Chains A and B, each alone.
Chain A
C-alpha cells in the first residue's frame, strides 16, 4: 500500500504541490476563513446585556445598521475618503513612476528602493509625524505664526477629513508606486518612438499609447490602495477628530467600550461586502477596457 502511494506521489505534480501548500492552506483556513465565518454568524446574533449574547438567528443587526444615520454616513464617508485618497495618490505618483521608467538610466533599483523605503517604517509613526506637522502647535502653524503670516493657528488642518486624506495619501504611496512602475517599465519604448515618428504629439502619444498600456498597473494601484484605506483605523483615530471619523472607529467601539459584538460583526461584514463590490466593479471595468484596447 505504501509502495503504491509512494509511486503515485512520485509521479503526481498536484499531490506534491498540495502537500507543499498544505501548511499555508491550513493556516488560512484556521486563522482566517473559520474566524471570518464565525464573525459572519455573530452578525446574526443579539447582544442582550453587557456580557450576554442571544444566539438565535436574526437579521435585525443589518436593519439596525441601515437605520442608523451615523453608521450609514460613516460607511459613505469611508468610501468617499478612500476614493479621494486613491485618486490623489494615483495622480501624484504616476509622473514619478513615469520619470523613473523612461528617464532614469542608471541605478533604477536604487531609486525604487528609496521610494519604497519610508513605507517600511512603522505606519503608526508615519501617521504620528503628520500630527506633528498639522497640529495646532505643530510645524505648519508654528512656522506661519513665527513668520508673522498668522496670528491664530489654522484649526482646520488638524482633526478633519483633510488631515485624514493627506495622511493616508502619504501612508499608502508605496502601494501605488510599485504596480504603476512595473506596468510602465514593461512598455516597449519603441512603440512610443514609433507613435512620435508617425506624427503624434507628446500628449496624443501619452493618451493613446502609454496610458492604455499602463492600465494594469493603474488598476492594481486602485485596488491595493482602496481596500486597506476603507478599513483604516489609525489615521482617523489619531487625526480625524469627529469630522474625520470612519467606519472602523465605530467597529472598534462596538468591540470595545460600547460592547455590542453582533452589531460590530455586522458592520465589519458590511465593510467586507463593500470592498468586494468595489473590487468586482473595478476588475469588470478593466476587463471591458482592455478588451476594447486589444
Chain B
C-alpha cells in the first residue's frame, strides 16, 4: 500500500464533485422561487411541490411506473435466480454461450432492443402500452439481477442443500427452508435494484408505451415547455431522493453476511 498522495486525493475529490454537483442542481432549483433555472437564486418556495402534487396525469404516470416496475422486478428476479443458480452451481457445456446470450440485452444499445420489440409487437397486431414496456423491462433487468444474484450465490455451500435432501426434505422444502433464507438478502437487493432500473428506464418506454405514459415519459413530455419545468424539477428531486434511498438499502442488504472482499459492489463484474 502506498502512503499518501495528496494530488491524487484532490483529483479524486474533484471527480466526486463532477459526479455529484450536476445532480444537485435539480433539488436546489426545485425550491427556487422563479421559473428560470439561473443564478442568483431568487427566494425559497415550496410551491413547485404543491403544483406537482396537483397534476392528475402525474398520478396516473406514477401508478403506471409502479405497476411496470413491480412486475418487471419480480419476474426478472425469479428468472435470474434460476439462471444464477445454474451458473454458480454447475459446470456444463454451452455455459459461456448461455451466459453471453442472457447478458446481451445489457450489452447492446437499448434503442435496438426497443425497435426490435416494437416491430414484432406491431407485426403481431398487438396494441402498444404497458405490456410491451414490461416485457422490455424484464428483458433488460434480468442480466442485472443475475449479476447481483450470482455474486450472492457463488461460494454458497451447496452441501447444505444436499444434506436437506438426504434428510428427506423435497426440492421445494429444501428451497424454502435452506436456500431461500440464505439467498434472501441478494433476492431483495435484486428486486429493489431491478425496480429502480425499470422505474427510471426511458428508451424502451418511449418506443413502446403508446398513450399510457410511465413517469419518465411524463417528465419527457413536460420538459419541452419552459413554464412547466419547475414542477418537473420538484418531481425530479423527489425521484432522486427516493432512488438514492432504495439503492443504498439494496447495497446494504446485498452485503449482509457477506465477506468483505466480495461485498464491494452493488453489482459484480464478471470476467
- Chain A residues in the interface with B (C-beta under 8 A): 13-14, 16-18, 20-25, 27-28, 31-36, 38-39, 42, 92-93, 95-96, 98-100, 102-103, 105, 108-109, 112-118, 120-126, 128-133, 135, 137-139, 141-143, 146, 170, 173, 178-179, 182, 189, 216, 220, 223-224, 227-228, 230-234, 238, 248, 251-252, 255, 261, 264-265, 268, 271-272, 275
Q: In the complex, A25→B80 CA distance in Å?
A: 10
Q: In the complex, A13→B223 CA distance in Å?
A: 53
* Cβ of B117 to closest chain A Cβ, rounded Å: 5
Decide: A139 and B37 in contact? CB cutoff 8 A. yes
Q: Could you say which of B46-54, B56-64, B87-95, B177-185 contacts chain A?
A: B87-95
- Chain B residues in the interface with A (C-beta under 8 A): 1-2, 4-5, 8-9, 11-12, 15-16, 18-20, 22-23, 25-26, 29, 36-40, 78-80, 82-83, 85-86, 89-93, 95, 98, 101-102, 104-105, 107-113, 115-120, 123, 135-136, 138-139, 142, 146, 193, 196, 200, 202-203, 206-207, 216, 219-220, 223, 232, 236, 239-240, 243-244, 247-248, 251, 255, 260, 263-267, 269, 271
Q: In the complex, A28→B113 CA distance in Å?
A: 11
> For the complex, would chain B's binding face be called helix, strand, loop or mixed by DSSP majority?
helix
Chain B residues lying within 8 Å of A39, measured Cβ to Cβ, are 112, 115-116, 119-120
Besides A128-B219, A142-B38, 4 more A-B contacts (Cβ < 8 Å) are A120-B193, A122-B202, A138-B37, A271-B112
Q: Compute the total of residue contacts between A and B using a CB distance below 8 Å.
A: 252
Decide: B240 and A122 in contact? CB cutoff 8 A. yes
Whether A13 contacts B110 in the complex (CB less than 8 A), given A99-B12, A122-B200, comes out as no
* Cβ of B2 to closest chain A Cβ, rounded Å: 5
Decide: B23 and A228 in contact? CB cutoff 8 A. no
Decide: B37 and A135 in contact? CB cutoff 8 A. yes
